[in-house]
Amino acid sequence: MASLRLADPALIPIYEKVKEKQRLSAADGLTLFQSSDLLGVGYLANIVRERLHGRRAFYIYNQHINYSNVCVNGCKFCAFGREAGQEGAYEMTLQEICAKVEARLHEPITEIHIVGGCHPTLPFSFYVEMLRSIKALRPEVHLQAFTAVEVAHLAEQNGSSVADTLQTLRDAGLGSLPGGGAEVFSTRVRQALCPQKLGPDGWLSVAQTAHRLGLNTNATMLYGHMESLEERVDHMLQLRKAQDETGGFLSFIPLAFHPQNTALDHLQGPSAFDDLKTLAVSRLLLDNFPHIKAFWIMLGPKMAQLSLCFGVDDVDGTVMEERITHMAGAQTPQGLTRSQLEALIREAGCVPVERDTLYRQVTEAAA
């Protein structure tokens, strides 16, 4: 029966492994990426997705706050970051950040997702105060804040270790770390695109330090620029190894590159085929990651919906205000309502489950 679903015979040995719950190799990852049998790859990914989550598909009622775009890294793929003093550079004051939270106090938000750049001068106390002030306004909300790159930068500002810095941030209200800043763990790509940025070892070390302290994190991969398929597979396998060691990753989020207003605006960004295949391959290679997330802000709601048939079990959340992707040309809305998210999940034949950051169920809609 399965062979009827697989047009590409190269996928049959991988199907056998998936059926037997065997770990896939780097070579398998490459075979999957190189196959043009997208429906076959999606079929395999969905075996894993259904084994883990059945027909349940998760979303969250969240709010994004991008507190500043001032950044010392100058990454070529980024349209959001600005040097201090450059036109378009901004940093929100604590009052402005609190006003963003206060404006949505009437909504049942369970998570606030906070990321910015690596600011050269904001003191560590600013970040601590930001978390404390938000928690004072919304004590029940989970603060998913600061990528591993920001945390390493804050540790430097703080003149302290990553572990002590994370502990101080946790005491101020930090709940978990988002998965940004991982980009692709390839020295070749990083030399070309983001030589100033925290490298792969540093990124993994911050994530694993967080895990050892009992803080969960997510992980991302920016794809569709100059990385090779081998580099994507290697990125995923490095994450899989790290997860074997410390086990704190909740979800993997492939981030579709948006070229507009970046130094790479001559590139196209990934195709629809590539989006779906990358999500499906990540579901298959990252056998120890509980969740694969399609960030609809980057993929568009339609592609995020389709991805639910290609291994994805999570479409992120309501969002309502996002700057990083929209500054890079995203045409997607700024937010989706709960009922829009639920409708797109249901239409894909899945059961919508509103989750909190730690994937505990908030509500399950009637099927």
Which of 111, 316, 342, 354 is close enough to bind ligand V47 by CB under 6 A?
316
- Residue 313 makes contact with ligand V47 by CB under 6 A: no
- Residue 176 makes contact with ligand V47 by CB under 6 A: no
Dihedral, CA of residue 112, residue 118, residue 119 and residue 125, to nearest 10? 60
By beta-carbon proximity to ligand V47, the closer residue of 42 and 178 is 178
Among the listed residues 105, 112, 23, 122, the one whose alpha carbon sits nearest the alpha carbon of residue 62: 112
By beta-carbon proximity to ligand V47, the closer residue of 14 and 207 is 207
Which of 69, 218, 305, 307 is close enough to bind ligand V47 by CB under 6 A?
218
In angstroms, the CA 291 to CA 332 distance is: 23
- Residue 295 makes contact with ligand V47 by CB under 6 A: yes
- Residue 332 makes contact with ligand V47 by CB under 6 A: no
In angstroms, the CA 227 to CA 52 distance is: 30
Contact 109, 141 (CB under 8 A): yes
In angstroms, the CA 283 to CA 276 distance is: 11
Which of 178, 254, 270, 301 is close enough to bind ligand V47 by CB under 6 A?
178
- Residue 116 makes contact with ligand V47 by CB under 6 A: no
Residue with the CB atom nearest ligand V47 in the bound state = 180
In angstroms, the CA 55 to CA 43 distance is: 14
Task: Report the interhelical angle of 12-19 vs 38-53 (nearest 10°).
Answer: 0
Ranges of H-type helices in the chain: 2-5, 12-19, 26-34, 38-53, 94-102, 124-137, 148-158, 162-172, 187-193, 200-212, 229-246, 272-285, 296-299, 301-307, 338-347
Which of 148, 328, 345, 350 is close enough to bind ligand V47 by CB under 6 A?
328
By beta-carbon proximity to ligand V47, the closer residue of 11 and 182 is 182
> Least separation, in Å, of the C-beta of 76 and ligand V47?
10
Contact 319, 287 (CB under 8 A): no
Which of 58, 126, 249, 257 is close enough to bind ligand V47 by CB under 6 A?
257
Q: Which of residues 34-63 bind ligand V47 (CB under 6 A)?
A: none
Contact 226, 191 (CB under 8 A): no
By beta-carbon proximity to ligand V47, the closer residue of 175 and 178 is 178
| Local structure of residue 171 (DSSP, 8 states) | H
In angstroms, the CA 220 to CA 182 distance is: 6
> Least separation, in Å, of the C-beta of 6 and ligand V47?
32
Which of 35, 110, 186, 220 is close enough to bind ligand V47 by CB under 6 A?
220
Q: Which of residues 121-150 bind ligand V47 (CB under 6 A)?
A: 147
By beta-carbon proximity to ligand V47, the closer residue of 47 and 182 is 182
Task: Give contact residues for ligand V47 (rule: CB under 6 A).
Answer: 77-79, 115, 147, 178-181, 183, 218, 220, 222, 253, 255, 257-258, 262, 295, 298, 316, 324-325, 328
